[in-house]
Amino acid sequence: MTNTAEIARFILEAEDRLVPLVEQKELTEHDLQIKLLMAVRERFGKDLPREEYMRALHVALDELDRRAEAARESYKRTKRQLAATTMIHEGLPAGLRFREACQIRATGTGPVADLAQQYLTWFDSREYRVREALVEAAMKAHPYFERDVTRPHIWHYTAPGDGPDEETLIDWFQRTHPARARAVEAEIQ
């Protein structure tokens, strides 16, 4: 006997695989629904009661709503962060790094100065300094990263495609160079 949650999970996984085909116009919405129903029947049997299927669809829809809400919250947070960054840089000379802009803005008063001070506090935290040191060490060790000769704080990913994000890069470094990663972390007071 299958349960509703298992069927809903299957529906969401199948939907995740099929939606890109709709987005690429290789499959219509109608065809997606038919394929989804056929996949559920194949996996859980043709005798799956309609009521059970409908309950699973509702559970899947609730999960999609939860994911959409989380995505909206993430979007709002990112938008606020980008707007704050823009406010800190606004009116300052081009070419300033963000930390430098924060140092300048933190000397003033008001909400932008307060925000700049919050960033400076974060930049001075051990957590931030360890993360930055690990990213730097990982890029030095990684075969597909090269330092820009004219701007030494810039690194270029030289392999085809997009380079790894910082989390992935740190994870790679900690797995492939565990002793060096521990040493980098231990160096930061």
What are the tens digits of pLDDT across the range 160-174? 988 899 999 999 999
Residue 46, domain member (yes or no): yes
141 falls within a domain: yes
Do residues 149 and 173 share a domain? yes
Judgement on whether residues 67 and 15 belong to the same structural domain of the protein? yes
When divided into structural domains, the chain yields a total of 3
Can you say how many angstroms the Cα of residue 58 is from the centroid of all Cα atoms in its chain?
A: 28
Q: Is residue 79 part of a domain?
A: no
Size of the chain in residues: 189
Judged by DSSP in three states, 157 sits in strand
Is there a domain that residue 77 lies in? Answer: no
Note whether 14 and 67 are same-domain residues: yes
Predicted local confidence at residue 2, as pLDDT: 62
Q: Is residue 87 part of a domain?
A: no
Instruction: Give the tens place of pLDDT for each residue, 21-51.
Output: 888 888 888 888 888 888 888 888 888 888 8
Residues 105 and 59 both lie in one domain: no
| Structural domain that includes position 106 | 92-122
Sign for the CA dihedral angle at 140, 143, 149, 150 comes to negative
Tell me, yes or no, whether 62 and 26 share the same domain. yes
